[in-house]
Structures are given as C-alpha cells and as structure tokens.
C-alpha cells in the first residue's frame, strides 16, 4: 500500500528540506510514495514539488482555507484521503507536530512522533527524555502515522523527479469559525535556515547581551553559517525564540556546530548532539558542553571570537 507525505514549505515558495527527508523515510515504508501539497496559490510550488525525487504522485489541495495550514482544516482534508494509505508521514516541525496528532485523533490512532530510524514497517526508533534515551517501539495500529526527524534521513534531491500532478477536487468543508488566521510575524534573516545549514554557531547565556551576538554574526558571515541559541539566551531576550536549538526548539545536525558560552544542558544537547563536529568555547572548564565536544577552547569569548574571525578571514 501507498505512503502519503505531507509537504511543508516556507512562505517564500521553497519546499523545506525536512520534507525532503520525510520523503526518504516514506520510501523505506512503501514503494508508492505520494506527496500532499496543501495551501493557497500553489502553481509555482506544485511545479517545484513535482520534480522532487522519490515521489510518484503529487496531490494538490488548493483553497483559501488552507493558506496558513491550520490543523483543523488540514487534518479534515487528510482524513478524506486516508483510506488509500497505510502510512501517513509528516515532518517533525511546527506544522507536522500540530497537524499529525490531530489527524491521529480523528483516525483513532496513536501517532509516532520524531522517528529517527525505521527498522521495519511497524518498528521505529524515537528519542525520549530530551534525546538522552532511544526507544524502539512497535505500532499495532493498522494505519501508521509518523512524524520524522529531518536530521537522520538524507533529503531527496529537489530536481530530477517527474511526479504526476493530481488536483484534489472534492475538498471537505471546513468550519471557518474554529480557527481564524490573524497575523504572521516572520523573523527576518538572510542567513541559511538553521535546520539545513552546513555550519551552525550558537550562543548561550554567557553571551551576556543580544548586542554581543554580533560577534557570532561576524563568524557566521565567514562560514555561511546559521545562528542558534540556547533556551537561556532566548529567555534572556538576546535573540528571537526561533533561534532556539534543543528539546523544545529546533533539532540540527550540521557538519560543524560551534557552541559559544553555552553550558550544555541536556535539553540543549537534545537539539545538536548529532552534529558531525562540535566545537565548544567556554570560560568554565567544568561546563558539560566539553564532554560532548570534539574540540574545546577554554577562555573568554570576547578574546577568542575576534581571533577566530581574523583567522577565518585569513584563510
């Protein structure tokens, strides 16, 4: 039987990388993979999505009610398609985590969140306790609903595929009163997206102020890196919360993760411990971050960061 994958995209008409990872995961569950694109004004995105590798069919549900991907109408829509699928896969990002469990409630299924490994069609591995433990779980549900971590499944290529596009004509009516969209406040950034950046540089409470994040930005400029933060730095108001890496923020696994003035609480490690190389810069030699880093420097960030910037420039 077939697998349905819910696509997630940026408002700037870009399919998110985590959706491309979800397609890879879906390919391990079944041979026929269909992707579902939900929203308003989808002409450009449909063309892009149909070229994704690993999908045979692209279902397009276009209606003003879906413009902001609210869980109530989107879950109702997927229920109307669910009979044809044994597996429904969503990215484990804000949208997937909002929509998939609601869908599970409607279908009376126990969802499986944040899957990091697919062992067979009913056995999955998922992190618990802020990622410090991995649980192997078996689902007895006839229909299986999974949200998938982007960091552990390779993303399919954006081009080279040739899926047939099928527009869904019979859209279920939605209760427009339940949830009304008011406003979107996007964080503005020219940097690469945190979850797909090759290099991430993060600051913790030890950065002392939001202004000091300029020191991280200068290094990020040299490495085309995304900037992240610990929850302490976000709570202190240094940076917006969508910078947060950790159990309750974003999960990243870049090639290089640089943790600056960040102690390394388990809730933070949950979001970055699968990075290939971890560098820690901290003045406290006892900071737990040094136990999970490949290279550490003990010292004052106000001395080390300018030196590092100069060294990167001189490369």
Partner 1 sequence: MKILVPVKRVVDSNIKPLVKSDNSGVEVGGVKMSMNPFDETAVEEAVRLKEQKIASEVVVISIGEPKCQDTLRTAMAMGADRGILVTSDDALESLSVAKILQYFVTKEQPDVVLMGKQASDDDMNATGQILAAKLGWAQGTFVSKLELSDGKAQITREIDDGQEILELTLPAVITTDLRLNEPRFASLPNIMKAKKKQIETVALADLGVDTAVRLQVKSVAESSSVREGIIVGSVEELMDKLQNEAKVI
For partner 1, which is the closer residue by CB, 50 or 244?
A: 244
Interaction between residue 149 and partner 1 (CB under 8 A) = no
Nearest-10 Cα torsion for 255, 116, 132, 102: 120
- Residue of 31, 44, 83, 108 that binds partner 1 (CB under 8 A): 108
- Residue of 13, 80, 105, 302 that binds partner 1 (CB under 8 A): 105
H/E stretch holding 49: helix 43-50
Interaction between residue 21 and partner 1 (CB under 8 A) = no
Tell me how far CA of residue 5 lies from CA of 51, 56, 233, 277, in angstroms: 15, 11, 35, 31
CB 62 within 8 A of CB 36: no
- Residue of 83, 120, 169, 183 that binds partner 1 (CB under 8 A): 183
Tell me how far CA of residue 171 lies from CA of 65, 180, 237, in angstroms: 10, 19, 43
* DSSP secondary structure letter of residue 66: G
Identify the sign of the CA torsion 118, 90, 10, 167.
Answer: positive
Query: Segment near partner 1 (CB under 8 A), from 32-40, 44-52, 125-133, 203-211?
Result: 125-133
For partner 1, which is the closer residue by CB, 50 or 263?
A: 263
For partner 1, which is the closer residue by CB, 159 or 186?
A: 186
- Residue of 40, 129, 217, 302 that binds partner 1 (CB under 8 A): 129
Tokens of 248: 């309750």
- Residue of 80, 291, 302, 313 that binds partner 1 (CB under 8 A): 291
Interaction between residue 178 and partner 1 (CB under 8 A) = yes
Residues 191-220 that bind partner 1 (CB under 8 A): 199
Tokens of 176: 């427009």
Residues 54-83 that bind partner 1 (CB under 8 A): 68, 70-72, 75
Interaction between residue 286 and partner 1 (CB under 8 A) = no
Residues 24-53 that bind partner 1 (CB under 8 A): none
Identify the sign of the CA torsion 256, 291, 115, 42.
Answer: negative
Interaction between residue 13 and partner 1 (CB under 8 A) = no
For partner 1, which is the closer residue by CB, 50 or 70?
A: 70
List beta partners, residue 234: none
Interaction between residue 185 and partner 1 (CB under 8 A) = yes
Tokens of 120: 């067979």
Interaction between residue 121 and partner 1 (CB under 8 A) = no
- Residue of 66, 87, 238, 290 that binds partner 1 (CB under 8 A): 290
CB 80 within 8 A of CB 108: no
- Residue of 21, 50, 247, 263 that binds partner 1 (CB under 8 A): 247
Count other C-beta atoms under 10 Å from residue 22's C-beta.
34
In angstroms, rounded to a whole number, what is the distance separating the alpha carbons of residues 287 and 297? 11
Interaction between residue 164 and partner 1 (CB under 8 A) = no
Write down the least CB distance from residue 3 to partner 1, Å.
Answer: 18
* DSSP secondary structure letter of residue 302: H
Interaction between residue 293 and partner 1 (CB under 8 A) = yes
Interaction between residue 307 and partner 1 (CB under 8 A) = yes
In angstroms, rounded to a whole number, what is the distance separating the alpha carbons of residues 107 and 262? 42
Interaction between residue 227 and partner 1 (CB under 8 A) = no
Write down the least CB distance from residue 136 to partner 1, Å.
Answer: 5
* Residue 285 C-alpha from the chain's centroid: 32
């Amino acid at each position: 039987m077939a697998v349905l994958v819910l696509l997630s995209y940026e408002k700037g008409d870009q399919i998110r990388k985590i959706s491309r990872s979800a397609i890879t995961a879906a390919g391990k569950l079944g041979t026929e993979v269909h992707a579902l694109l939900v929203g308003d004004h989808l002409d450009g995105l449909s063309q892009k999505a149909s070229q994704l590798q690993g999908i045979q069919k692209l279902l397009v549900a276009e209606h003003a009610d879906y413009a902001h991907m609210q869980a109530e109408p989107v879950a109702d829509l997927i229920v109307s398609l669910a009979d044809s699928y044994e597996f429904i896969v969503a990215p484990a990002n804000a949208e997937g985590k909002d929509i998939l469990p609601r869908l599970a409630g409607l279908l009376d299924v126990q969802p499986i969140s944040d899957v990091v490994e697919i062992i067979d069609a009913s056995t999955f591995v998922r992190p618990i306790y802020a990622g410090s433990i991995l649980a192997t779980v078996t689902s007895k549900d006839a229909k299986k609903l999974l949200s998938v971590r982007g960091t552990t499944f390779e993303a399919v290529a954006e081009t080279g595929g040739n899926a047939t596009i099928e527009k869904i004509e019979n859209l279920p009516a939605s209760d427009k009163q339940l949830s009304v969209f008011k406003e979107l406040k996007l964080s503005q950034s020219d940097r690469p997206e945190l979850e797909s950046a090759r290099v991430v540089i993060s600051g913790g409470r030890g950065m002392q102020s939001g202004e000091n994040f300029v020191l991280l930005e200068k290094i990020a400029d040299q490495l085309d890196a995304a900037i992240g933060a610990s929850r302490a730095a976000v709570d202190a108001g240094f940076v917006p919360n969508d910078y947060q890496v950790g159990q309750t923020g974003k999960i990243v696994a870049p090639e290089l993760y640089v943790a600056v003035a960040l102690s390394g609480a388990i809730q933070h490690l949950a979001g970055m411990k699968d990075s290939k190389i971890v560098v820690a810069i901290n003045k406290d030699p006892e900071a737990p971050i040094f136990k999970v880093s490949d290279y550490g420097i003990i010292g004052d960030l106000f001395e080390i960061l300018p030196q590092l910037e100069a060294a990167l420039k001189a490369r």
